[in-house]
Amino acid sequence: MRLIFSSPDLSKPGALAVFATENSTLLPSAEKLDRQIGGAIKRAISASKFKGEKGQTLKLLAPQGVEASQILVVGLGKIAAIDDLAAQNAGGTVVRELSRSVESTGLVVVDAIKGAEISSAAFAANVAYGALLGSYRFDKYRTKQKPEDKSALSTINIMTSDAAKARKAFGPMSKVAEGVFFTRDLVSEPANILYPISFAARTRALTKLGVKVQILDEKQMAKLGMGALLGVAQGSAQAPRMVAMRWDGAPRAKDKAPIAFVGKGVTFDTGGISIKSAGGMEDMKWDMAGAGVVTGLMHALAARKAKVNAVGVIGLVENMPSSNAQRPGDVVTTMSGQTIEVINTDAEGRLVLADALWWCQKIHKPHTMIDLATLTGAIIISLGHHHAGVFANNDKLAEQLSAVGKATGEAVWRLPLGDAYDKQVRSNIADMKNVGGRDAGSITAAQILQRFVKDEVAWAHIDIAGVAWSNTDAPTVPKGGTAFGVRLLDRLVADYYEQK
């Protein structure tokens, strides 16, 4: 999708979008347009249920008096509630509706909104950002789409009197969108295309942005003692990989220690010997979403030249049942030297992260470390598909994540950690076992991860199992891979960790 900015011009041909607030109040350009077409917009409003509420739309086809082939009126709701997120959702709504037309160009007229805190330029930039995010499609493997099923929309022209300011504000946003798309592409790929070696190969694309990429093979990991990760991988014909992506964007030498992001990358999860039921197993291609988010985030930070030192580490494996597969009851030794009794081979993500977290700290020595993983089904029972679960050893970091979650619409909810939960993962023959029973399954999983975090490191674990994939469309998140976490963590870096 091509996004451009220009001065308002209601005479241009294309599909034209304007805005209204609550009580069907048209913004100035919409009022002007309505007069130009003889009051047709207000007559259409009177004949419909359109009230200008957030997300509502009204469409007029082939209007007389303008070159536009159609007019789309999009509701913004209450003026006091119009912020960055509202603008992004409005932009996504515009793309969704105009994609159903035969036009290749969408024209979006943006006005200053009297009484709203958001500026005209910021509103325009965020409308463009939302439109771009909402335009994503993964059609790589469709070979027989009918022309009428394909969207003709290829350009969105944001028309505003603050075009130059809006264009400048949109620049970094477009780079974050690139990272989001990178992640969505990875998460959408089938497991016969995206497996540990091919995933690792895709990370090399980041070198063009100045990211340093290091890839470890199974021999190197074995030498380092990564018995937990290798235990998960041993049942698969696909060899595992560990990848580190380093972006050094902080200009001051005193800030050499990075913030680190660690992702679970199980490119397909059958459950291993503790095999999953067949129904829905095809979804397990996106059990690598945590690694996908870390990769997309590193793309976003590098592409927008973030003034921060950051490292992304991803552990890539495939969890398969075979004669070589790990068995329930096996004991593995992690890189840290701690031992884990494997009770359930379908609780494999924590084994992968145990070695990835330790290696990240040993090699890169971060001051802060955040891991993301589609770790537990229990988090879906707890929070549904609306929040990711957050666990942290640091209150300040947890509060920062909550704040940026609200700002980006990628909501998180903090859950507890504690000694009582830690007792549930005690093993009779090893330092710990990899499951703690059905009770508090997400918490006990986080307790295991915490054992691989050094005391001096601020750490948070984000369980994205309920939010990594969506079966419904939202304005800025089409159904499929969501890339939940890229915008969240980019904003975290921008607000709290980036040099100003």
Q: List active site positions.
A: 276, 350
User: Length of the chain, please?
Assistant: 500
- The amino acid occupying position 308 is V
Nearest C-alpha neighbor of 177 from the set 408, 493, 486: 486
Residues 170, 151: Cα–Cα separation, whole Å: 24
∠ CA 296-297-302, rounded to 5°: 100
Residues 180, 292: Cα–Cα separation, whole Å: 9
Contacts for 113 with CB less than 8 Å, ≥ 6 apart: 21, 27, 76, 79, 82, 120, 123
∠ CA 177-472-183, rounded to 5°: 30
Residues 353, 340: Cα–Cα separation, whole Å: 13
The H-assigned helical ranges of 139-288 are 163-188, 196-203, 218-224, 227-233
Nearest C-alpha neighbor of 313 from the set 263, 374, 249: 263
Residues 317, 241: Cα–Cα separation, whole Å: 7
Phi, psi of 402 (to 5 degrees): -65, -40
Residues 85, 34: Cα–Cα separation, whole Å: 27
- What is the CB neighbour count within 10 angstroms for residue 124? 30
Residues 395, 412: Cα–Cα separation, whole Å: 14
Nearest C-alpha neighbor of 157 from the set 88, 93, 107: 107
Token pair 């300011």 is found at 165
